[in-house]
Amino acid sequence: MNSHVSIVGFLVLFLAGPLSTQPAKSSEVNPYNVPDELRICLRAKPELEINGDINPFYISGDYDGDGLTDFALQVRTKKHKSQGILFCFANGRSVLLGAGAPVVWPQDSSSGWPFDSWMLIRKGSKHLSIYPRIKSDTLALMKADEGGGLVYWDGSKFLWQREE
């Protein structure tokens, strides 16, 4: 009898469809997937929200070379939806690139956000050996079939190194 109840329960749930009538947006970020450090960093920038269009929506690394974990977070402005990257350093400092702040990469005003993927390149990586001035973990920002570049910290600000 219990197996009949289980099958009937399953069929009721299956036929009833999803519990929510709202379609899930691919850019929505589950708040349980956001580290506490990022929540604290975002509180200081109430005009920004997390942008989940590119997965992963954040990448941890040692961007300033101090040996502590920092975060790079995909963000957008709440009002105009312009995109950018918020760097949240372990020491509590943050730097915004894009989303209304100046950028270090070449910007084509007609194209909007110029990247569709990103990844971490660790300090000391073979890939970075041809760039001796890069001393810490680096973000590679890329656009399919067009190339991209590296965003890196020089000790006082972020710089751009184009890659082919």
Give the separation between CA 155 and CA 135, rounded to whole angstroms. Answer: 9
In a domain, 7, yes or no: no
Taking only the tens place, the pLDDT of each residue in 86-142 is 999 999 999 999 988 888 887 765 556 788 999 999 999 998 888 888 999 999 999
The pTM for the full model equals: 0.79
How many domains is the chain built from?
1
In a domain, 14, yes or no: no
In a domain, 2, yes or no: no
Extract the tokens encoding 97: 């690139």
Give the structural domain span for 118.
33-163
In sequence order, which residues have a C-beta less than 8 Å from that of residue 89 and are 6 or more positions away?
A: 63, 64, 66, 68, 70, 95
In a domain, 9, yes or no: no
In a domain, 24, yes or no: no
In a domain, 154, yes or no: yes
